[in-house]
């Protein structure tokens, strides 16, 4: 992966934005027979942080979360919660609660019984229990539905019950496994802002698993991007989006054009067509890298309007997609087609298929990624 | 009112006067009901001919008269046969039958639950299937033969007894005893408990157990509060399937219990075949039936509400 990535297996203390550490993973590996579901992951999550684990299906997000919850034990490595080594401690003895991917509500219990389950198990007195259950149900706006069975609730309502059932225990860390995955787009967006508001209001640490990059970007304080069991990059949403370290991260978060390039010197990379670009990589000459160019950071202009100091590639408009608020061009630049997104503002010049144009960008729009 | 649909439904004239959609819906529901009835007709016919009619015959005979020569005559309807149920002999038979049937049910449940749980929690499909076949193998041989084999097993010259003698524990002789009948009943009805339990446990979403553990439940508490209640339909079904036939058991106690330990079933057979007192036999049958029916209804009512 090269030296641009976070050293695997070591939590990067410099990156912890909060003074108190909530969850810490050190060189955590999980093997199922031959499958390596999680591969030496190191991570440090701060108290009160909204931390998202983002990655494609099967990358090991759920497994990581389950290991924190104690539903699965690491093959190697250590997990600490509030400084305490968890080891083989069973889930019922850990100060975390989980909102499961499929909610896992108890079908034979009413909403109120579901929510009060954790308190009963911890032998909270009846009076306090009743009060806290009512509070939690009110928090997720389900008052009046206490006596319904989960089967008589909509998907969004079930999701809220699952949330209330976890929150009522006032865990210091809440683990959420794609809690909004089963909801339709509109409801999902509503719940996203509600969840985020709730998290800030209650001041909990959230470890939030999702494969939806937009969700991760809008909600998180920090994101950890995973692929094939590896934690590839950890950082705030802007950093992940603006300065992806690897080709995978650049490609997975948002849309991007990845241009193969070779490092020529400390300051220069060379594209496949021989063009030289100013980019500091810190890599030895000859190293293979990719230049990541976000479509919305590029511009399409007539060739004669390009000044020599601009970074540009010459090409021909290959396709034009009208998207209402924007126009997306595919510009053929010899060895590949580059996607350019132009906001649909009054006065913008529209290009047609076949137009000879240049794709231009400013140096800051470029990021260099490895592998 | 006419409908906008391209396909014109075959409505009767008076339906066409009603508003479109509800009439359509009602018509289609009626048609579905008619189809369902036709499909179920053979089963209805079978049940009526071979279950309902014999039951009515039994009921009728229980009120009939037995003449001095022992012949049952369908006249002078009376409840003599039911009055005889209060006799001490019959009462002791009833108590023994009840105790044995309850014990059989409880033992079957205790033996089956862990086994069904084990089966249902195997990941491998192959292992599950093999275990299931193992449970069903006894069904493939004759029940009478199997019961005789148990008698041999339990007799004083049987392998159990020999084994115990060879290690100096003395003779085992439990053939022709209540214990032997109990062993036979448990053996005979165990699969009826295992199968519904397995079916119920197999359907349980094991994520629920993880959710319970995550909510501070110990392994035992998770079982008590989640697995057990969700497997209740299987428990109820299994208990009924075991209790009902053990209460009416006849062959098992005949072969393993001998003449000195009759159960209700044996008493009824005696009334019909030896004492030739058909009304008495019929009356006992009716009482058993009524008790079963009430018990089952109560069990389903309470079970159905808390599930
Ligand atoms: N119990 C298990 N036995 C064997 N392999 C498993 C087990 N659980 C997970 N895996 C494997 O580990 C890998 C990671 O699985 P995991 O469930 O963590 O993925 P995920 O990132 O949550 O994916 P998704 O977004 O689809 O939920 C997958 O390849 C999966 O097949
Ligand atoms: Mg998952």
CA of A180 to the centre of ligand 2 (A): 12
Interface of B with A (CB under 8 A): 205, 207-208, 210-219, 221, 225-226, 229-230, 307
**Ligand nearest to C-alpha A211:** 1
pLDDT at B8: 45
Chain B nearest-CA distance from A53, in A, is 20
CA dihedral A227, A229, A230, A231 (to 10 degrees): 80
Short-list A189, A240, A228, A294, CA closest to A52: A240
pLDDT at B21: 66
The least confident of A6-10, A295-299, B123-127, B278-282 is A6-10
What class, spelled out in words, does domain A21-242 have in CATH?
A: alpha beta
Residues in chain A with CB shorter than 8 Å from the CB of B226 are 106
Cβ separation A165–B215 shorter than 8 A: yes
Return d(Cα B170, Cα B165) in angstroms, integer.
Answer: 4
Cβ separation B211–A107 shorter than 8 A: no
Interface test with B, best of A70, A95, A107 (most B CBs within 10 A): A107
Short-list A254, A317, A263, CA closest to A291: A263
pLDDT at B263: 85
Q: What is the pLDDT of residues A198-235, one digit of tens each?
A: 898 888 899 999 999 999 999 999 999 999 999 999 99
A296 versus B70: which is more confidently predicted? Answer: A296
**Mutation pick for ligand 1 pocket among A38, A59, A68 (CB with most ligand atoms within 8 Å):** A59
pLDDT at A202: 82
Q: Which member of A104, A105, A117 has the closest CB to residue B210?
A: A104
User: CB atoms < 10 A from the CB of B198, how many?
Assistant: 25
**Ligand nearest to C-alpha A225:** 1
Q: What is the pLDDT of residues A73-115, one digit of tens each?
A: 999 999 999 999 999 999 999 999 999 988 999 999 999 999 9
Contacts of B175 (CB under 8 A, 6+ apart): B151, B154, B155, B156, B158, B256, B258
Chain A nearest-CA distance from B87, in A, is 46
Cβ separation A92–B230 shorter than 8 A: no
| Positions in chain B whose pLDDT score sits under 50 | 1-16, 18, 305-307
Q: At A288, phi and psi to the nearest 5?
A: -85, 130
Q: Which chain B residue has its CA at the smallest distance from A170's CA?
A: B215
User: CB atoms < 10 A from the CB of B122, how many?
Assistant: 14
Tally of residues, chain B:
307
pLDDT at B5: 44
- In chain B, at which residue ranges do the beta strands (DSSP E only) sit? 65-66, 72-73
Chain B nearest-CA distance from A70, in A, is 8
Short-list A347, A285, A273, A283, CA closest to A312: A273
Q: Which member of A104, A107, A121 has the closest CB to residue B216?
A: A121
CA of A35 to the centre of ligand 1 (A): 9
CA of A229 to the centre of ligand 2 (A): 12
Return d(Cα A63, Cα A230) in angstroms, integer.
Answer: 12
State how far the alpha carbon of A312 is from the alpha carbons of A265, A333, A357, A364, A368, in Å.
20, 10, 10, 13, 16
Return d(Cα A130, Cα A127) in angstroms, integer.
Answer: 5
Q: Enumerate the β-bridge partners of residue A188.
A: none
pLDDT at B303: 57
Cβ contacts from A onto B, under 8 A: 59
Cβ separation B218–A106 shorter than 8 A: no
Chain A nearest-CA distance from B215, in A, is 5
**Mutation pick for ligand 1 pocket among A33, A34, A35 (CB with most ligand atoms within 8 Å):** A35
The least confident of A87-96, A126-135, A151-160, A341-350 is A341-350
Q: What CATH architecture does domain B87-304 belong to?
A: Orthogonal Bundle (1.10)
Judge whether residue A340 has pLDDT over 70: yes
Contacts of A100 (CB under 8 A, 6+ apart): A162, A177, B207, B210, B211
Q: Looking at the whole model, is its pTM more than 0.90?
A: no
Cβ separation A106–B217 shorter than 8 A: no
Residue whose CA lies nearest to ligand 1 atom number 26: A57
Return d(Cα B190, Cα B106) in angstroms, integer.
Answer: 11
Residue whose CA lies nearest to ligand 1 atom number 18: A60
Short-list A15, A9, A122, A28, CA closest to A80: A28
Fold of A255-370: OB fold (Dihydrolipoamide Acetyltransferase, E2P) (2.40.50)
Q: At A140, phi and psi to the nearest 5?
A: -95, 15
- In A126-267, at which residue ranges do the beta strands (DSSP E only) sit? 173-177, 205-210, 222-227, 230-235, 257-263
B294 versus A49: which is more confidently predicted? Answer: A49
**Mutation pick for ligand 1 pocket among A39, A60, A65 (CB with most ligand atoms within 8 Å):** A60
Q: Which chain B residue has its CA at the smallest distance from A115's CA?
A: B215
Q: What angle do CA B34, B37, B41 make, to 5 degrees?
A: 140
CA of A177 to the centre of ligand 2 (A): 7
Q: Is the dihedral of CA B278, B279, B285, B288 positive or negative?
A: negative
Burial class (CB in 10 A: 0-12, 13-18, 19+), A354: exposed
Residues in chain B with CB shorter than 8 Å from the CB of A69 are 214
Q: What is the pLDDT of residues A301-317, one digit of tens each?
A: 888 888 877 888 989 99
Cβ separation B214–A91 shorter than 8 A: yes
User: CB atoms < 10 A from the CB of A315, how many?
Assistant: 23
Residues in chain B with CB shorter than 8 Å from the CB of A166 are 215
Q: Name the band, by pLDDT with cuts 50, 70 and 90, for residue A4.
A: very low
Q: For tokens 């079982």, what's the residue?
A: B223
Q: At B123, phi and psi to the nearest 5?
A: -75, -35
Short-list B203, B202, B205, B221, CA closest to B213: B221
Return d(Cα A255, Cα B236) in angstroms, integer.
Answer: 57
Answer for the pair B106, B238: CB distance below 8 angstroms, yes or no: no
Cβ separation B213–A100 shorter than 8 A: no
**Mutation pick for ligand 1 pocket among A54, A58, A73, A211 (CB with most ligand atoms within 8 Å):** A58
Interface of A with B (CB under 8 A): 69-71, 90-92, 96-98, 100, 102, 104-108, 117-118, 121-122, 165-166, 169
Six-digit token string for A225 = 């991007």
**Quick one: which H or E segment has residue B294?**
helix B278-306
Residues in chain A with CB shorter than 8 Å from the CB of B221 are 121
Which residues are near ligand 1 (CB < 6 Å)? A 32, 35, 37, 55, 57-63, 211
Interface test with B, best of A95, A117, A161 (most B CBs within 10 A): A117
Q: What 8-state DSSP symbol labels residue A31?
A: E
Return d(Cα B194, Cα B188) in angstroms, integer.
Answer: 12
CA of B204 to the centre of ligand 2 (A): 20
Residue whose CA lies nearest to ligand 1 atom number 3: A32
State how far the alpha carbon of B105 is from the alpha carbons of B185, B188, B238, B247, in Å.
9, 11, 8, 10
Domain extents in chain A: 21-242, 255-370
A42 phi-psi bin (left φ>0, alpha ψ -120 to 50, beta other): beta
Task: Indicate which atom in ligand 1 lies nearest the CA of residue A229.
Answer: 14
Return d(Cα A321, Cα A319) in angstroms, integer.
Answer: 7
Judge whether residue A271 has pLDDT over 60: yes
Task: Indicate which atom in ligand 1 lies nearest the CA of residue A63.
Answer: 18
pLDDT at B20: 57
């Amino acid at each position: 992966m090269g030296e641009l990535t976070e050293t695997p297996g070591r939590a990067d203390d410099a990156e912890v934005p909060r003074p108190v550490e909530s969850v810490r993973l050190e060189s955590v590996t999980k093997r199922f027979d031959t499958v390596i579901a999680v591969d030496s992951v190191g991570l440090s999550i701060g108290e009160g942080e909204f931390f998202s684990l983002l990655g494609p299906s099967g990358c090991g997000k759920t497994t990581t979360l389950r290991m924190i919850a104690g539903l699965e034990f690491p093959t190697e490595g250590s997990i600490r919660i509030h400084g305490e080594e968890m080891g083989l401690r069973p889930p019922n003895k850990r100060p975390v609660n989980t909102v499961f991917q499929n909610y896992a509500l108890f079908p034979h219990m009413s909403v109120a019984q579901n929510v009060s389950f954790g308190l009963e198990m911890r032998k909270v007195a009846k009076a306090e229990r009743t009060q806290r259950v009512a509070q939690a149900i009110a928090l997720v706006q389900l008052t009046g539905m206490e006596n319904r069975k989960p089967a008589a609730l909509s998907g969004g309502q079930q999701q809220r019950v699952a949330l209330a059932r976890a929150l009522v225990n006032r865990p210091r860390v809440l683990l959420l496994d794609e809690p909004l995955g089963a909801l339709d787009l509109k409801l999902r967006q509503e719940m996203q802002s509600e969840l985020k508001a709730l998290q800030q209001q209650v001041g909990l640490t959230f470890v939030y698993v999702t494969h939806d990059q937009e969700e991760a970007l809008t909600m998180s304080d920090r994101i950890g991007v995973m692929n094939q069991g590896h934690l590839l990059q950890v950082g705030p949403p802007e950093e992940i989006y603006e300065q992806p370290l690897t080709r995978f991260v650049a490609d997975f978060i948002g849309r991007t054009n990845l241009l193969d390039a070779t490092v020529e010197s400390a300051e220069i990379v060379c594209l496949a067509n021989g063009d030289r670009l100013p980019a500091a990589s810190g890599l030895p000459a000859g190293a293979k890298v990719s230049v990541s160019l976000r479509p919305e950071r590029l511009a399409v202009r007539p060739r004669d309007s390009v000044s020599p100091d601009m970074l540009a590639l010459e090409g021909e408009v290959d396709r034009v997609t009208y998207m209402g608020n924007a126009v997306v061009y595919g510009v053929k630049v010899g060895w590949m087609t580059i996607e350019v997104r132009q906001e649909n503002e009054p006065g913008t010049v529209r290009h047609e298929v076949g137009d000879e144009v240049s794709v231009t960008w400013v140096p800051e729009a470029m990021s260099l990624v490895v592998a | 009112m006419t409908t906008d649909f391209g396909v014109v439904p075959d409505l009767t004239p008076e339906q066409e006067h009603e508003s479109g959609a509800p009439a359509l819906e009602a018509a289609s529901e009626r048609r579905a009901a008619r189809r369902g009835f036709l499909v179920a007709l053979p089963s209805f016919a079978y049940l009526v001919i071979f279950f309902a009619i014999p039951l009515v015959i039994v009921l009728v005979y229980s009120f009939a008269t037995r003449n001095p020569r022992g012949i049952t005559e369908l006249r002078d309807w009376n409840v003599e046969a039911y009055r005889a149920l209060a006799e001490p002999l019959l009462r002791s038979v009833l108590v023994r039958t009840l105790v044995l049937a309850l014990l059989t049910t409880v033992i079957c449940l205790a033996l089956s639950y862990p086994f069904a749980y084990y089966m249902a929690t195997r990941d491998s499909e192959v292992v599950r299937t093999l275990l299931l076949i193992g449970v069903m193998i006894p069904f493939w041989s004759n029940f009478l033969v199997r019961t005789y084999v148990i008698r041999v097993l339990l007799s004083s010259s049987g392998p159990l007894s020999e084994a115990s003698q060879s290690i100096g524990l003395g003779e085992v002789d439990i053939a022709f005893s209540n214990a032997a009948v109990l062993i036979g009943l448990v053996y005979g009805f165990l699969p009826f408990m295992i199968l519904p339990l397995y079916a119920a446990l197999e359907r349980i979403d094991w994520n629920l157990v993880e959710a319970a553990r995550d909510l501070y439940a110990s392994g035992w508490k998770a079982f008590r509060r989640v697995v057990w209640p969700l497997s209740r339909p299987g428990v109820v079904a299994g208990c009924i399937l075991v209790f009902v036939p053990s209460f009416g058991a006849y062959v098992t106690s005949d072969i393993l219990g001998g003449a000195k330990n009759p159960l209700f079933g044996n008493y009824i057979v005696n009334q019909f075949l030896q004492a030739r007192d058909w009304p008495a036999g019929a009356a006992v049958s009716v009482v058993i039936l009524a008790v079963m029916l009430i018990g089952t209804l109560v069990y389903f009512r309470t079970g159905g509400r808390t599930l």
